[in-house]
A = this chain, B = another copy of it.
Amino acid sequence: MPTITPEDARTLARAALVAHGCDAANADAVADTIARAERDGAASHGLFRLPGYVASLKSGKVNGASRPKITNRAPAVLHVDGDGGYAPVAHQALAGPLAAAAKTEGLALAAVTNTHHFSALWAEVELLSERGVAAIACVSFKPALPPAGGTTPLYGTNPIAFAWPRPGRDPVVFDQASSVMARGEVMIAARDGHALPPGAGIGPDGQPSTDPAEVLRGALLPFGGYKGASLAMMVELLAGPLIGENLSLEAAETDPADGGPPRGGEFILTIDPDSARGSTDWAQHAEKLFEAIASQEGARLPGQGRAARRARIAEQGIDIAEDRLQELRALAEG
């Protein structure tokens, strides 16, 4: 099997996006997100999504020459209008102003609207934590999960991501769907012919199923039963009505189903720990918790698996099937 590097992934992605109508700035932001996903072994958010990105440019749904606009809705609320472009373009624009607002006000919210989010959330919270603030982000998508007690998809898989800054070290980051499995993982299982673990989903008849194709036509299930459903509901409210963007059910109503991401919003909260605590010793204090985790046999910090995959990929590269590589090269040729 051929191997490629994360840099190869970036080059391929950038070329495919430019060939289908992105300008350089927009292509760079998305290609960077794809390359970071591949670097971290998150195949379901890497080149796997490139055909969907290209489809959404071809259909004219996404603005490949977006210029996000940032205004204040309140002293601690920035409205980020994504200009119909991909979310990473908005993220690069908002990181500086949002972290600065958190430092002035103590905490700050980015109400991100009019974007198309098609990747993992850890990229944006990691970016913010590198500026010394803690960050919590969430997005909805299109209906995938039923509400507690129901069987019909209503909520998106609605991930929540969190990053805690560690001065001089990599931040502690998690990014987890409200479902047992992320939709991208189920799509990959369907492509590769693997069964899902029990409890991950139900078929169109509302009965439990381990067949990924059945589950994609039925519903994914929230993690932890009704508790995961509560979190998914909260995400719908925070990334939708609260900031003035689509609910998942509305995104589905208006999306052309071209294979790319629907229009949606994102809730990104940043907190300046110096302001929240009133001193700078939060960093040392948090290390006491991380040391207690590390001291338990078998225990791990969130993100530790990702860091290990990153190191392995830096050494060994990314395996990719020959026919998939050819498909991607064809996309890059336009």
B296 touches A154 (CB 8 A): yes
B105–A275 CB distance below 8 A? no
Question: Quick check: is A236 within 8 A (CB to CB) of the other chain?
Answer: yes
Contact check, B224 vs A289: say whether CB atoms are below 8 A apart: no
Within 8 A of B (CB), among A219-266: 223-228, 230, 233-234, 236-238, 240-244, 247, 249-250
Residues of B within 8 A of A31 (CB): none
Distance between Cα atoms of A252 and B319 in the complex (Å): 48
Binds B, one of A19-27, A48-56, A279-287: A279-287
- Shortest A76–chain B CB gap in Å is 4
User: Which of chain A's residues 261-312 have a Cβ closer than 8 Å to chain B?
Assistant: 269, 271-273, 275-279, 282-283, 285-286, 288-289, 292-293, 296-300, 302
In the bound complex, residues from chain B placing their C-beta under 8 Å from that of A73 are 106, 275-278
Measured CB to CB, the closest approach of chain B to A321, in angstroms, equals 29
- Smallest CB separation, A258 vs chain B (Å): 24
How many identical subunits does the complex contain?
2
Quick check: A244 and B277 within 8 Å, CB to CB?
Answer: yes
Q: Given the interface contacts A107-B77, A147-B299, A241-B286, does A227 sit within 8 Å of B230 by beta carbon?
A: no
Query: Is A46 interfacial (CB 8 A cutoff)?
Result: no
A68-96 contacts to B, CB under 8 A, are 73-77, 79
In Å, the complex CA distance between A149 and B298 comes to 5
Q: How many residues of A contact B (CB 8 A)?
A: 72
- Chain B CB within 8 A of A34 CB: no
A152 contacts partner chain B, Cβ-Cβ < 8 Å: yes
User: Is A150 an interface residue when CB atoms closer than 8 A count as contact?
Assistant: yes
Asked if residues A277 and B150 are in contact (CB atoms below 8 Å), the reply is no
**Bound Cα distance from A162 to B138, whole angstroms:** 15
Q: Are A236 and B289 in contact (CB under 8 A)?
A: yes
Chain A interface (Cβ within 8 Å of chain B)?
A: 73-77, 79, 104-109, 111, 134, 136, 146-152, 154, 162, 164, 172, 174, 176, 180, 223-228, 230, 233-234, 236-238, 240-244, 247, 249-250, 269, 271-273, 275-279, 282-283, 285-286, 288-289, 292-293, 296-300, 302
**Given A74-B107, A164-B237, A240-B286, 12 other A-B residues pairs in contact with their CB atoms under 8 A:** A73-B106, A73-B277, A75-B104, A76-B105, A77-B106, A148-B299, A149-B296, A150-B296, A152-B296, A223-B228, A241-B283, A242-B273
Closest 6 CB pairs of A and B: A74-B106, A224-B224, A150-B299, A223-B224, A77-B106, A150-B296
